[in-house]
Chain A
Amino acid sequence: MNVDLLSFARGPALKFALGIFCAGVVWRILAFCLLRIRRDFNRPRNSMLKYLWTGVFATASRSWPHPEFIKRTGAGEALGYSYHMGLFVVILLFGPHIAFLGSLFGITWPGLPSSVITAIAVVTATLFLGVLFRRVTTPVIRMLSNFDDYFSWFITMLVMLTGLAASAHLGARYETLLAIHILSVDVLLVWFPFGKLMHAFYIFPSRAINGAILARKGAAT
């Protein structure tokens, strides 16, 4: 039964989820690319090389707030970037994840010891709880939040918690816990193209394109 569930989770369910994920991501990006792209007839202040380079530079520079804003946004940004980094470390440097990604892409790389990953995952999950707390207690963020924000948080947290439970063998047989973890990943993959998780694909192009458009005018980036 557990083996069947696990086979289903990493077999047909995962294939289905990956199919939705890939098709959804491609369509979501294509949909706005198909909208009208305006030609800018105004004479640029900077050369194309300069404004394109400024756009590329903005992909990195926007990761750190301008000093003028740090007092007001530093804590929020630190929280945001910290859990993102935690997520990346857990996703990319945990042995079983590397093996899974290796089976998809054909390459593997060295990982971190499980104990280190577990510690990072616990810290990341705690920070993520802080993110939710901030979302519901900060009036501005609460006002901006919708179902997408809360469901995206929930499904990401679910993946983290089921992963932690599976690696610690907590509450059930390992196969069952692993199956539940993989099923939660499947749900996340299916949800991904429909909600804000898409920002993973948008963040760098958004910084680069907006930065280049502003730099074309010589405006601040």
Chain B
Amino acid sequence: MTDLAITAETHADAATRASQVAGAMRGFSREIGAMSAFRMESCIHCGMCAEACHYYIATEDPQYTPIWKVEPFKQAYKREASAFAPVIRLFGLKRAVTAEQLAQWQHLLFDSCNLCGRCSLICPMGIDVTTLIEQARHAMFDAGLAPQELYDKADHQQLTGHPEASLEPYRQKLLDIGIRFNVPIPLDQPDVEVMLCVPRTDIDHYPQAVAAIARVMRHLGVSHTFRSDGLIAENYGYYAGSKEWQREISLRLIDQAVACHAKILLVPECGHAYTALRWEAADLVGKPLPFKVMAATEYLALALKSGQLSLGKADIGATSFQDPCKLDRMGGVIHAPRELMKAMGVDLHEMENSGNFSFCCGGGGGVVDIEQAKPLRYRTMETKLREVDATDTKTFLTSCSDCRRTFDDAKEHFSWDKSPQSLLELVAANLVATRPVTTSTGA
């Protein structure tokens, strides 16, 4: 190809990208809605949100200030949809967002934000910054600027139901786990009380967690099933910022839950899957879901309260607990894990920042899947690891498979001496029979 041809092609690419960005920003401004417009209008540029963000705390680099992560989007909103937008455009008071500017922001919106919600707790104006960042991710996706890893996984999942190609079908992997751990795995049962989904992370990395939920459900004697066509809990559409793909991926589970007449769709230990299904799915399909979405821990805590579940004492010594951001701070499942631990007599030593104020593991928001985010993620995680170490505990629990994967990665990277264990597995290991276990749900 001649230099001239290459230059012409480059210009054509640049023009296409510029038009794509302009479209995405107009779309963002139109779609943003009254509430998020209000959020952007309310910001007083006080910078307090930086003090809640573990990326800023670890680096002291101002660019990691949460509200700065939506700066181009504030700019676009003011130009396109704010009260004085025509005047702003007429006098050029805010420049149009450029493709180059937006490309710079990919690092800020994806590599350095876990969507953990800690910044939303510090704002003196009460602004939920995290929701703005989620909406900005949508525009980034529309502008063709989602990170490749997240884009590929989301694309694969919306087409196939699971985020990566697998030699062995996940259905088979699930059944193999049942055989390996000697627990029946009910699959594709027609009429059940509870439909279960499962994090792909658990199937691939922590099969014992899959066996644990199957064991606990069997113990409870509640009719339940996994569904071959709605198996994977994760939603990479959510991570990548594609509302359409997020909807498609959620619909697979929703359709299956409807097909088996489930009253409850139970999300095992996966924070963002819970958010996608519990707090966003109904909005994406445009109507209320005909079943409840529950996190495994809250379901089990309810069973404990009702006397349906009884737990023995767990002899695990002093224990710390990682609160998954999407389940507790952002999802309201804050007491359930502690009630379960209390019932098992766990000697819980809380971290300096725990519960609603816990720092993210560093992997949330899809960050654990982004290769280029690794160095910053490790740097940021040090804050968390120091807090875990400071508890001086033997056991480290969590109730999110992504947290678990992130900490296990840190274990390898830092030669750290701890490995998080699953709260669900601990529950499964300490079941005490309270009544005869029914077998109606067996495979």
Contacts and interface: CB of A to CB of B under 8 A. Distances in A.
B332 A218 contact: yes
B256 to A, nearest CB: 19
B42 A143 contact: no
B330 A206 contact: no
Interface string B42-71: 101111101110001000101101011000
Interface in B317-339: 328-334
Given A41-B287, A43-B282, A76-B48, A220 B356 contact: yes
Interface stretch (B120-128, B152-160, B240-248): B120-128
B50 A140 contact: yes
A42 B357 contact: no
B281 interface: yes
B77 to A, nearest CB: 9
A36 B31 CA distance: 8
B91 interface: no
Nearest to A72: B51
Contacts of B45: 141, 144-146, 149, 196
Nearest to A55: B126
Interface string A55-80: 00010001101101100110011001
Interface stretch (A25-33, A121-129, A161-169): A25-33
Contact of B34 (A36, A68, A141, A206): A36
A82 interface: no
A144 B329 contact: no
A190 B356 CA distance: 42
Contacts of B353: 68
A199 B42 contact: yes
B379 interface: no
Contacts of B39: 206, 210
Given A38-B33, A38-B35, A203 B42 contact: yes
B110 to A, nearest CB: 20
A76 B122 CA distance: 12
Q: How large is the interface on B (under 10, 10 to 19, 20 to 34, 35 or more residues)?
A: 35 or more
A209 interface: yes
Given A144-B65, A218-B331, A76 B46 contact: yes
B164 interface: no
B281 A42 contact: yes
B37 interface: yes
A138 interface: yes
Given A32-B38, A210-B120, 10 more contacts: A31-B82, A32-B83, A40-B283, A65-B122, A66-B357, A69-B122, A140-B65, A206-B127, A207-B126, A208-B126
26 contacts: A30-B83, A34-B34, A36-B33, A37-B33, A37-B34, A41-B289, A42-B278, A42-B279, A42-B281, A42-B283, A42-B289, A62-B123, A63-B124, A65-B122, A76-B48, A140-B56, A141-B45, A202-B41, A203-B42, A203-B125, A210-B39, A210-B120, A210-B127, A214-B128, A217-B332, A219-B331
Interface of B: 31-35, 37-39, 41-42, 44-48, 50-52, 56, 60, 62-63, 65, 67-68, 81-84, 117, 120-128, 278-283, 285-289, 292-293, 328-334, 353, 356-357
